[in-house]
A = this chain, B = another copy of it.
Amino acid sequence: MAEFLGTGPSLRAIPFGPGRKSAIELLSSRQRSQIARIATSLQYPPGKVIYREGSNAQSVFIIANGIVKLFRDLPSGKRPIMAFLFADDVFGLGQNGHYVNSAQTITPVTMYCIRVATLADTLRHDAELAVQFLCKVTHELTGSLRHTVIVTRRDALGRVTMFLRMLEQDSHRSQDSTIEVPVSRLDAANYLGLSLEAVSRALSQLERDGIIAFEGRRSVRVLDRTRFEKIAAAL
Protein backbone atom coordinates (compact mmCIF):
# COMPACT_ATOMS: atom_id res chain seq x y z
CA MET A 1 0.00 0.00 0.00
CA ALA A 2 2.57 2.54 1.02
CA GLU A 3 5.88 3.25 -0.57
CA PHE A 4 8.51 3.71 2.09
CA LEU A 5 9.82 7.17 2.75
CA GLY A 6 12.94 6.92 4.77
CA THR A 7 12.06 5.12 7.96
CA GLY A 8 8.32 5.60 7.71
CA PRO A 9 5.97 8.11 9.33
CA SER A 10 6.98 9.59 12.63
CA LEU A 11 5.57 11.89 15.29
CA ARG A 12 7.61 14.30 17.35
CA ALA A 13 6.43 15.82 20.62
CA ILE A 14 7.35 16.43 24.22
CA PRO A 15 5.95 13.52 26.28
CA PHE A 16 3.81 14.06 29.37
CA GLY A 17 6.37 12.68 31.74
CA PRO A 18 9.36 14.56 33.17
CA GLY A 19 12.88 14.63 31.84
CA ARG A 20 12.48 15.78 28.27
CA LYS A 21 12.75 19.43 27.45
CA SER A 22 12.68 19.08 23.68
CA ALA A 23 10.58 17.06 21.29
CA ILE A 24 11.47 13.45 20.63
CA GLU A 25 10.26 10.71 18.34
CA LEU A 26 7.20 9.11 19.88
CA LEU A 27 6.74 6.02 17.77
CA SER A 28 8.48 2.69 17.95
CA SER A 29 9.64 1.19 14.67
CA ARG A 30 6.82 -1.31 14.98
CA GLN A 31 4.29 1.49 15.27
CA ARG A 32 5.83 3.32 12.36
CA SER A 33 5.56 0.38 10.05
CA GLN A 34 2.05 -0.26 11.32
CA ILE A 35 1.03 3.22 10.29
CA ALA A 36 2.95 2.94 7.06
CA ARG A 37 0.78 -0.06 6.26
CA ILE A 38 -2.45 1.94 6.44
CA ALA A 39 -1.04 5.08 4.84
CA THR A 40 -0.35 6.22 1.32
CA SER A 41 2.37 8.69 0.54
CA LEU A 42 1.85 11.90 -1.33
CA GLN A 43 4.03 14.51 -2.97
CA TYR A 44 2.77 18.07 -3.29
CA PRO A 45 4.32 21.06 -5.01
CA PRO A 46 4.54 24.42 -3.19
CA GLY A 47 1.41 26.50 -2.85
CA LYS A 48 -1.00 23.65 -3.39
CA VAL A 49 -4.22 23.49 -1.35
CA ILE A 50 -4.49 20.14 0.40
CA TYR A 51 -8.02 20.58 1.64
CA ARG A 52 -10.50 23.35 2.31
CA GLU A 53 -12.17 24.38 5.51
CA GLY A 54 -15.57 22.75 5.81
CA SER A 55 -14.98 20.04 3.25
CA ASN A 56 -15.36 16.37 4.09
CA ALA A 57 -12.63 15.25 6.44
CA GLN A 58 -11.66 11.97 4.85
CA SER A 59 -8.00 11.82 5.65
CA VAL A 60 -5.45 12.66 8.29
CA PHE A 61 -1.95 13.65 7.24
CA ILE A 62 1.51 13.21 8.71
CA ILE A 63 4.26 15.33 7.23
CA ALA A 64 7.47 13.58 6.27
CA ASN A 65 9.08 16.62 4.78
CA GLY A 66 8.30 20.25 3.96
CA ILE A 67 6.11 22.97 5.40
CA VAL A 68 2.32 23.29 5.52
CA LYS A 69 0.17 26.16 6.73
CA LEU A 70 -3.29 25.94 8.25
CA PHE A 71 -5.49 28.96 7.63
CA ARG A 72 -9.01 30.32 7.52
CA ASP A 73 -10.62 32.32 4.78
CA LEU A 74 -12.57 35.18 6.27
CA PRO A 75 -15.33 37.14 4.55
CA SER A 76 -13.13 40.25 4.50
CA GLY A 77 -10.54 38.48 2.42
CA LYS A 78 -8.19 38.24 5.37
CA ARG A 79 -6.48 34.94 5.71
CA PRO A 80 -5.16 34.37 9.21
CA ILE A 81 -2.70 31.52 9.53
CA MET A 82 -3.43 29.28 12.48
CA ALA A 83 -0.28 27.21 12.41
CA PHE A 84 2.81 26.26 10.47
CA LEU A 85 3.46 22.55 10.34
CA PHE A 86 6.74 20.79 9.76
CA ALA A 87 8.10 17.26 9.50
CA ASP A 88 6.54 14.81 11.98
CA ASP A 89 3.48 16.97 12.55
CA VAL A 90 -0.08 15.72 12.17
CA PHE A 91 -2.97 17.64 10.72
CA GLY A 92 -6.46 17.06 9.40
CA LEU A 93 -8.11 15.86 12.58
CA GLY A 94 -11.46 17.53 12.08
CA GLN A 95 -14.74 17.51 13.87
CA ASN A 96 -18.13 16.42 12.89
CA GLY A 97 -16.68 14.98 9.69
CA HIS A 98 -15.44 18.34 8.45
CA TYR A 99 -12.08 20.06 8.44
CA VAL A 100 -12.00 23.11 10.67
CA ASN A 101 -9.53 25.02 8.53
CA SER A 102 -7.82 24.89 5.17
CA ALA A 103 -4.37 23.45 4.56
CA GLN A 104 -1.87 24.50 1.94
CA THR A 105 1.73 23.63 1.19
CA ILE A 106 4.39 26.31 1.41
CA THR A 107 7.38 24.30 0.22
CA PRO A 108 7.32 21.01 -1.67
CA VAL A 109 5.86 18.50 0.78
CA THR A 110 5.98 14.76 1.11
CA MET A 111 3.47 13.34 3.51
CA TYR A 112 1.51 10.32 4.59
CA CYS A 113 -2.21 10.21 4.12
CA ILE A 114 -4.45 8.02 6.27
CA ARG A 115 -8.20 7.56 6.03
CA VAL A 116 -9.72 8.79 9.28
CA ALA A 117 -11.93 5.74 9.61
CA THR A 118 -8.92 3.48 9.19
CA LEU A 119 -6.88 5.44 11.68
CA ALA A 120 -9.67 5.52 14.23
CA ASP A 121 -10.04 1.78 13.84
CA THR A 122 -6.35 1.21 14.32
CA LEU A 123 -6.22 3.41 17.39
CA ARG A 124 -9.19 1.65 18.93
CA HIS A 125 -7.19 -1.55 18.79
CA ASP A 126 -3.85 -0.18 19.88
CA ALA A 127 -4.01 1.79 23.11
CA GLU A 128 -0.29 2.43 23.07
CA LEU A 129 -0.57 4.12 19.70
CA ALA A 130 -3.66 6.07 20.71
CA VAL A 131 -1.76 7.49 23.67
CA GLN A 132 1.02 8.61 21.35
CA PHE A 133 -1.48 10.45 19.20
CA LEU A 134 -2.98 11.95 22.33
CA CYS A 135 0.45 13.17 23.27
CA LYS A 136 1.00 14.63 19.83
CA VAL A 137 -2.30 16.49 19.76
CA THR A 138 -1.65 17.81 23.26
CA HIS A 139 1.66 19.07 21.98
CA GLU A 140 -0.06 20.86 19.13
CA LEU A 141 -2.51 22.33 21.62
CA THR A 142 0.30 23.86 23.63
CA GLY A 143 1.73 25.15 20.37
CA SER A 144 -1.57 26.84 19.67
CA LEU A 145 -1.53 28.40 23.14
CA ARG A 146 1.94 29.74 22.52
CA HIS A 147 0.62 31.25 19.31
CA THR A 148 -2.14 32.90 21.29
CA VAL A 149 0.38 34.42 23.68
CA ILE A 150 2.28 35.87 20.74
CA VAL A 151 -0.71 37.49 19.07
CA THR A 152 -1.94 38.82 22.40
CA ARG A 153 0.97 41.24 22.41
CA ARG A 154 0.18 44.59 20.86
CA ASP A 155 3.59 45.65 19.64
CA ALA A 156 4.88 44.45 16.31
CA LEU A 157 8.47 44.32 17.52
CA GLY A 158 7.62 41.92 20.30
CA ARG A 159 5.50 39.65 18.16
CA VAL A 160 8.14 39.35 15.49
CA THR A 161 10.84 38.68 18.05
CA MET A 162 8.79 35.98 19.73
CA PHE A 163 8.15 34.52 16.31
CA LEU A 164 11.86 34.31 15.58
CA ARG A 165 12.46 32.75 18.96
CA MET A 166 9.75 30.20 18.31
CA LEU A 167 11.30 29.27 14.96
CA GLU A 168 14.65 28.90 16.66
CA GLN A 169 13.29 26.64 19.39
CA ASP A 170 11.37 24.51 16.94
CA SER A 171 14.27 24.09 14.56
CA HIS A 172 15.32 20.56 15.38
CA ARG A 173 18.99 21.07 14.88
CA SER A 174 20.02 23.74 17.37
CA GLN A 175 22.62 25.63 15.45
CA ASP A 176 24.79 28.53 16.48
CA SER A 177 22.66 31.66 16.49
CA THR A 178 21.28 31.46 12.99
CA ILE A 179 17.53 31.25 12.58
CA GLU A 180 16.00 30.08 9.35
CA VAL A 181 12.79 31.87 8.43
CA PRO A 182 11.16 29.42 6.06
CA VAL A 183 8.07 31.48 5.27
CA SER A 184 7.34 34.67 3.38
CA ARG A 185 6.76 38.00 5.10
CA LEU A 186 3.13 37.78 4.14
CA ASP A 187 2.70 34.37 5.74
CA ALA A 188 4.51 35.56 8.83
CA ALA A 189 2.25 38.62 8.99
CA ASN A 190 -0.86 36.50 8.67
CA TYR A 191 0.40 34.24 11.43
CA LEU A 192 1.24 37.16 13.70
CA GLY A 193 -1.91 39.12 13.06
CA LEU A 194 0.08 42.02 11.65
CA SER A 195 0.24 43.75 8.33
CA LEU A 196 3.02 42.70 6.02
CA GLU A 197 4.55 46.14 6.40
CA ALA A 198 4.62 45.95 10.17
CA VAL A 199 6.60 42.71 9.99
CA SER A 200 9.04 44.23 7.58
CA ARG A 201 9.48 47.33 9.70
CA ALA A 202 10.00 45.32 12.87
CA LEU A 203 12.70 43.22 11.25
CA SER A 204 14.36 46.35 9.91
CA GLN A 205 14.34 47.90 13.32
CA LEU A 206 15.87 44.83 14.93
CA GLU A 207 18.58 45.03 12.32
CA ARG A 208 19.11 48.78 12.75
CA ASP A 209 19.43 48.30 16.48
CA GLY A 210 22.13 45.71 15.98
CA ILE A 211 20.10 42.93 17.56
CA ILE A 212 19.95 40.75 14.48
CA ALA A 213 21.70 40.61 11.12
CA PHE A 214 20.25 39.31 7.90
CA GLU A 215 22.03 36.62 5.98
CA GLY A 216 19.78 36.70 2.99
CA ARG A 217 16.07 37.45 3.26
CA ARG A 218 15.21 34.15 4.87
CA SER A 219 17.97 33.75 7.39
CA VAL A 220 18.73 35.77 10.48
CA ARG A 221 21.57 35.74 12.95
CA VAL A 222 21.10 36.92 16.51
CA LEU A 223 23.86 39.37 17.40
CA ASP A 224 22.71 40.57 20.79
CA ARG A 225 21.12 37.66 22.58
CA THR A 226 20.47 39.60 25.76
CA ARG A 227 18.42 42.33 24.18
CA PHE A 228 16.77 39.80 21.91
CA GLU A 229 15.49 37.80 24.86
CA LYS A 230 14.55 40.96 26.68
CA ILE A 231 12.27 42.05 23.87
CA ALA A 232 10.81 38.58 23.54
CA ALA A 233 10.02 38.43 27.24
CA ALA A 234 8.90 41.99 27.61
CA LEU A 235 5.17 42.05 27.07
Q: For the complex, what is the distance from the CA of A75 to the CA of B80, rounded to whole Å? A: 27
Give the number of times this chain occurs in the complex, counting copies. 2
Q: A140-B141, A141-B140 are in contact. Are A16 and B93 (CB under 8 A)?
A: yes
* CB-based contact B75/A234 at 8 Å: yes
Partner of A101, one of B80, B93, B145, B233: B145
Say whether A34 faces chain B, with CB atoms less than 8 Å apart. Answer: no
Say whether A160 faces chain B, with CB atoms less than 8 Å apart. Answer: no
Say whether A38 faces chain B, with CB atoms less than 8 Å apart. Answer: no
Which of A147-155, A179-187, A205-213 is the interface stretch?
A147-155
* CB-based contact B100/A145 at 8 Å: yes
Partner of A82, one of B13, B17, B139, B145: B145
* CB-based contact B97/A18 at 8 Å: yes
Most chain B CB neighbours (cut-off 10 Å) among A141, A154, A234: A141
Partner of A148, one of B74, B76, B80, B95: B80
Partner of A96, one of B18, B133, B147, B149: B18
Q: For the complex, what is the distance from the CA of A193 to the CA of B93, rounded to whole Å? A: 28
| Residues on B with beta carbons closer than 8 Å to the beta carbon of A116 | 16-17
Q: A80-B149, A151-B152 are in contact. Are A17 and B123 (CB under 8 A)?
A: no
Q: Could you mark each residue 121-139 of chain A with 1 if its beta carbon is under 8 Å from any beta carbon of chain B, else 0?
A: 0011111101101100111
* CB-based contact A138/B95 at 8 Å: yes
* CB-based contact B123/A130 at 8 Å: yes
Say whether A8 faces chain B, with CB atoms less than 8 Å apart. Answer: no
A-B CB proximity, top 8 nearest: A18-B97, A130-B130, A127-B127, A144-B144, A14-B95, A152-B193, A80-B152, A141-B141
Interchain residue pairs with CB less than 8 A apart (16): A16-B94, A16-B120, A75-B234, A78-B235, A80-B152, A95-B142, A100-B142, A120-B131, A123-B134, A124-B127, A124-B128, A124-B131, A125-B127, A137-B137, A137-B138, A154-B193
